[in-house]
Amino acid sequence: MTTTMTSHTIAVLVNDQPGVLQRVSGLFGRRGFNIESITVGQSEEEGLSRMVIVTQGDDKTLEQIEKQLYKLIDVIKVVNLSSKPMVARELALIKVKSEPAERPEIMGVVETFRAAVVDIGTNSMIVQVVGDTEKIDAMIELLHPYGIRELSRTGVTAMIRGNA
Amino acid sequence: MSAQIPAVRSTEQLREKWMKPEVITGSEILLRSLVLEGVECVFGYPGGAVLYIYDALYGFKDFHHLLTRHEQGAIHAADGYARASGKVGVCIATSGPGATNTVTGIATAFMDSVPLVVITGNVVSSLIGTDAFQEADITGITMPITKHSYLVRSVEELPRVIHEAFHIANTGRKGPVLIDIPKDVSADKTLFEPVQSINLRGYNPKVVPNHHQLEKVAAAIKEAERPVILAGGGVVYSGGHEELLEFVTRTEIPITTTLLGLGAFPSGNPLWMGMPGMHGTYTANQAIQNSDLLINIGARFDDRVTGRLDGFAPHAKVVHIDIDPAEIGKNVKTEIPVVGDVKTVLELLNPLVGRSDKADAWRSQISQWMADKPYKYKDSDTELKPQWVIELLNDTTKGEAIVTTDVGQHQMWAAQYYKFNQPRSWITSGGLGTMGFGFPSAIGAQMAHPDRLVISINGDGGMQMCAQELAICAINNIPVKVVVINNQVLGMVRQWQELIYENRYSHIDLAGSPDFVKLAEAYGVKGLRASNKEEAKQAWKEAMETPGPVLVEFVVSKEENVYPMVTQGSTIDQMLMGDCE
């Protein structure tokens, strides 16, 4: 057991019931567990949703998080994704100021990152970027000098690589 | 006893009667389902959102309904019923304020793992979320203090929900389950067919332990020189007290039982060291601190037991047996975790274990401690000592009564000086420490056991938090013997202020309390008072000889403290011994 604080990505398969997000997030809140990001959506099975939660904590905290989650009746399965090789992705929409003269420069940044411009206004554009958290942080940093008007990130969704 | 409590009517014929498929209202479905779940008695309070349910209850005789005077009384009574009987306690409250009045009782049951099904009404579905009259999001409010909860969306769901709620409440680590029923759902009709099966994918409590872990426990016992058993409420809840006795008899390991574990092991057994922790015995705390093997059976290492965690049982290898895996390692590092139902675990473990032969010197050491440092107090001939009062109750009832308590000094004295020999005889709010719990929980306990003597021990503070339920005792002739240990102050707060806050007695004086004898009489309950030993013996004798409910007020000394005491932030061997020295 180590006591170092590390980031963990946990997938939680839950019954698609009203209030289930409140049960899970409430559990984190009242037990003092941290939530860096939480995403929820449909899973491969009808009636079940998958939540992906990114949390900070030592191994003991992670163990408690898993055990406490399993106590919720609506929780079917808890998987610590970050204990195995995983694919983690986040999506961000970034509305960046762009006078016509700046557009080619911004497009250059966007292309380098394999991001996409999904909307262009008279003096702004929306950039869509998908990738791991670091890539999105980097993209935001590069677009920052042009002036970010609005930013919306989805939080991380993730899966274990291969057949696991 | 001359209890004239309405007879319980849950029989197989009754079940058959209600099994036939029929189109009925949600309210009728609720009542029939409760009968099918074996419910004998519910505690409740009507109001607008549960009027259909109460309409269905009109003339309904297949279980008994007790109308309390406050929803807090109802839920604590349901809790006492559950703790005394081992069955699920049921409480009904209306929406909004009715529902929120149950919150303290739900949290009390949650902390102590008591199986309850709490039924609340809600406003009609179309008004939910509009801040309608008497609307409260009770499922949201109680989410952190329930094992699970349901907001019923349609009448078709109701049979399944009720069946699941009972299953969840009374299996695994037990706990309260809330069912919130909108008014229209209780009025709507559907074809009712009793639900036979349960399909809860995410809920599979592990009852049978891993055999390999049991072998490790047996090996550890063989090697231990200073083993100790710490047994808790889990023993009582699993019904594993006989298996525990066998385990101790086989191994001859000294045992301490937590506050909620009192009665799980016979107090007369020479290996019993009393209770551990903040107001535990010198022996139990020294034994834990010096042990090399600590076997926790169904206790959760509450901070009132462990004291300062980083100095708790510093030399011990820890075995933790618990049905809730999340309890293992939560507070105390555990070398041998055993997940399973206590009774099942002990049944499987007993054949593997023998006498801990290396622990003979340890056993003599423990006997020595027990002889040297028992619980003690300075008795008086001029004033009544609360400990003496508890001893009086214990002596005259031979430890056979069901005792419920409120919270505070009297609770600790009762735990220390009443000697319990059977499980489900001791009912107290351990985890939440709920004042107002003691008296109504006794009503529930008496409903569960009409023929047993039920004594409710209260302080003068807590008695005033649910005193209105005296009416229930009077009207239903529920023969609870209500004891009020009156020291005219909030005693435990006073004790802390004396010992920790340098005698700064801030707002503890309960001057203005009612004359408890007159209060009892006002409700139609016999009231008696005693201020010295002779009066006390006489009053208690009269109470015992009087059929029906009686309140006895014992006026005791104000300055008495509970000793020993471990102050917060200390390890449990750093005890203030006080009069026990």
- Bridge partners for B24 per DSSP: B190
- Tens-place pLDDT, residues A21-65: 999 999 999 999 999 999 999 999 999 999 999 999 999 999 999
Listed in sequence order, the residues at least 6 apart from B121 whose beta carbon sits closer than 8 Å to its beta carbon are B47, B48, B49, B50, B53, B93, B94, B95, B98, B99, B180, B181, B182, B183, B186
The answer to whether the beta carbons of residues B81 and B43 sit under 8 Å apart is: yes
- Tens-place pLDDT, residues B398-415: 989 999 999 999 999 999
Q: Kindly state the average pLDDT of the residues B376-387.
A: 95
ipTM score: 0.92
Q: Which of A30, A64, A75 sits opposite B326 (nearest CB)?
A: A64
Whether residues B203 and A73 touch (CB distance < 8 A) is answered with: yes
Q: Kindly state the average pLDDT of the residues B459-480.
A: 97
In chain B, residues with a C-beta closer than 8 Å to the C-beta of A77 are: 202
- B7 pLDDT above the threshold of 80: no
- Tens-place pLDDT, residues B138-161: 999 999 999 999 999 999 999 999
Q: Kindly state the average pLDDT of the residues B356-365.
A: 97
Whether residues A72 and B140 touch (CB distance < 8 A) is answered with: no
CA A28 to chain B, closest CA, distance in angstroms equals: 11
CA B328 to chain A, closest CA, distance in angstroms equals: 9
The answer to whether the beta carbons of residues B518 and B468 sit under 8 Å apart is: no
For the record, the structure tokens of A160 come out as 């274990």
In chain B, residues with a C-beta closer than 8 Å to the C-beta of A74 are: 202
- Tens-place pLDDT, residues B18-44: 888 999 999 999 999 999 999 999 999
- B16 pLDDT above the threshold of 80: no
Q: Kindly state the average pLDDT of the residues B194-218.
A: 95
CA A87 to chain B, closest CA, distance in angstroms equals: 26
Q: Are strands B317-322 and B526-530 parallel, antiparallel or unpaired?
A: unpaired
Q: What is the DSSP string of B99-123?
A: HHTTHHHHHHHHHTT--EEEEEEES
* Burial (CB count within 10 angstroms: exposed 0-12, middle 13-18, buried 19+), residue B13: exposed
Q: Which amino acids of B are annotated catalytic?
A: 71, 133-134, 183, 492
Whether residues A15 and B140 touch (CB distance < 8 A) is answered with: no
In chain A, residues with a C-beta closer than 8 Å to the C-beta of B324 are: 71
- Tens-place pLDDT, residues A85-120: 999 999 999 999 999 999 999 999 999 999 999 999
Q: What are phi and psi of B113, to 5 degrees?
A: 55, 50
B18 vs B257, which has greater pLDDT?
B257
CA B567 to chain A, closest CA, distance in angstroms equals: 25
Listed in sequence order, the residues at least 6 apart from B99 whose beta carbon sits closer than 8 Å to its beta carbon are B71, B93, B120, B121, B122, B136, B138, B141, B180
Listed in sequence order, the residues at least 6 apart from B516 whose beta carbon sits closer than 8 Å to its beta carbon are B460, B463, B484, B486, B527, B529, B551, B553
Give me chain B's average pLDDT, please.
96
Interchain CB contact of A30 with B (< 8 Å): yes
Q: Which residue of B has its CA nearest to A64?
A: B326
Q: Which of B143, B324, B330 sits opposite A22 (nearest CB)?
A: B143
Mapping DSSP to helix (H, G, I), strand (E, B) and coil, where does residue B464 land?
Answer: coil
For the record, the structure tokens of A83 come out as 């204990």
| pLDDT score of A55 | 96
Q: Kindly state the average pLDDT of the residues B114-119.
A: 98
Interface test with A, best of B125, B153, B173, B330 (most A CBs within 10 A): B330
Element (DSSP H or E) covering residue A55: strand A48-57
Q: What is the DSSP string of B299-365?
A: ----HHHHBSGGGSSTT-EEEEEES-GGGTTTSS--SEEEES-HHHHHHHHGGG----GGGHHHHHH
Nearest to B42 by CA among B74, B6, B10, B87: B74
Under the banding of pLDDT at 50, 70 and 90, the label for residue B8 is low
Q: Kindly state the average pLDDT of the residues B517-535.
A: 98
Q: How many CB pairs under 8 A join A and B?
A: 41
Interchain CB contact of B202 with A (< 8 Å): yes
Task: Name residues 35-94 of chain A within 8 A of B (Cβ).
Answer: 60, 63-64, 67-68, 70-77
Q: Kindly state the average pLDDT of the residues A119-145.
A: 96
Whether residues B326 and A73 touch (CB distance < 8 A) is answered with: no
The one-character DSSP state at B466 is: S
- A2 pLDDT above the threshold of 70: no
Q: Which of B139, B148, B330 sits opposite A73 (nearest CB)?
A: B148
